[in-house]
Amino acid sequence: MTAQEVLRRTPGTTVMVLDRDTVASGATRRSAGLHFPRGATERVRRMSAYSQDWYERLRAAQPDVPVRPLGMTVVAGTDADTEAELRTAYLPEARLRPATGPVAAGRVTVPDGRAAWTADGCQYADVGALTARLARGLRSRAAFREGVRVTAVRAAADAVELRLGTGERVTAARAVLAPGPWLGDPAWAEALAPLGLRVKKVVALHVDVAPSAADGAVVFHDEDAFLLPLHDRGHWLFSYTCQEWDVTPDELGGGVSPRNLREARELLARYAPAFAARCASGRVFCDAYNPTGPGPAVTALDTAGRLVFAGAAGGSGYRLAPALAAEAADLLDPRPAAADETRSTK
């Protein structure tokens, strides 16, 4: 998306996209792809609104894009402070309102002390397929190097030099570093250290229950968890907040652990016992988080502003990707945007 944004602003710019794997691998392939119109801070709310508008325009221009609108129910506490928090966090476009019917066709129970709210603006995507599609549209305008690792990055006053695993060297006027959870790679670990970013395990369980056509997402606000009907796959996804920190993506080959299953089932059993009994597998990976957030980190890593970091979206990489790309492009090209250009989210 950053490459696309750069080329939109400055057509004809020479752009190279380097990926350590094939495009749409890694965190992209494992992403739940859920977007809901909310943000914990004013900046993240602006980013969410910007990204929602971007995806809506994409769907209007390309109706067959793998992005599917969904209904959404939010389950949260009934106290006045929680309601005020909800109304602040969710965008006005969400039209947050009390739910009037059963949740997930009655398969999710709203216990005492909780209330259900309905909201608009939710959607989910096949993020891998969407990313591959975006890349396909860019290949005539940008060079792609897949399966090529960057082994060293050096930002100088006049350029950024990249050493590649193929033995080549690439020199660029500016570069964006978007390593996802690979923060500790020796090529850039030292440059990122001052940002204080951390990597946390992300777990989403597969619930072997077929969703109905009318099923939408269910967000458990107080627990920071959600149920997502994956209509294209024929089952539900339950994502909860796993508190296993300072992991590395290359060490997460063991899949779902007993601890992950226990934590997810205990939480889900509060709301949907029948779903909890059908959780036996899922997807495990990790993401970078910004402890100074909430919200992603988009910043120059050198005094000349030639090397820009964009990431640490804390599990919201897909949800905020268009806004992240816009902020990164702003730093790459500090000139004021023209009046007819889409504005930055900063």
Q: What pLDDT is stored for residue 292 in this prediction? A: 82
Mean of pLDDT values over 283-301: 92
C-beta separation of 290 from 311 below 8 A: no
Among residues 289, 304, 330, the one where a domain terminates is: 289
Judge if 203 and 283 occupy the same domain.
Answer: yes
pLDDT tens for each residue of 52-80: 999 999 999 999 999 999 999 999 999 99
CATH code at 234?
3.30.9.10
Find, among 118, 148, 165, the residue nearest to 23 by Cα.
Answer: 148
Judge if 224 and 330 occupy the same domain.
Answer: no
Instruction: Rounding to the nearest 10 degrees, give the CA dihedral for residues 29, 30, 35, 41.
Output: -110
For 76, phi then psi, to 5°, come to -150, 170
Q: What pLDDT is stored for residue 340 in this prediction? A: 40
- Give me the amino acid identity at 27: A
CATH code at 327?
3.50.50.60
CA distance 276 to 148: 41
- Per the prediction, the chain carries an average pLDDT of 93
Total domains, the chain: 2
Judge if 149 and 61 occupy the same domain.
Answer: yes
Q: What pLDDT is stored for residue 344 in this prediction? A: 38
Question: What percent of the chain is predicted at pLDDT more than 90?
Answer: 91
Among residues 289, 307, 329, the one where a domain terminates is: 289
Judge if 240 and 281 occupy the same domain.
Answer: yes
Judge if 60 and 76 occupy the same domain.
Answer: no
For 23, phi then psi, to 5°, come to -55, 135
Judge if 203 and 262 occupy the same domain.
Answer: yes
Judge if 46 and 132 occupy the same domain.
Answer: yes
Q: What pLDDT is stored for residue 335 in this prediction? A: 54
Judge if 229 and 280 occupy the same domain.
Answer: yes
Using 50, 70 and 90 to split pLDDT, how confident is the model at 334?
low
CA distance 90 to 81: 14
Q: Give the end-to-end CA distance of the chain in Å, rounded to a whole number.
A: 17
What is the residue range of 336's domain?
1-66+126-196+293-346
Judge if 181 and 212 occupy the same domain.
Answer: no
Q: What pLDDT is stored for residue 42 in this prediction? A: 95
Using 50, 70 and 90 to split pLDDT, how confident is the model at 186?
very high
Residue 175: half-sphere exposure toward Cβ, Cα within 13 Å: 26
- Give me the amino acid identity at 234: G
Supply the pTM of this predicted model.
Answer: 0.92
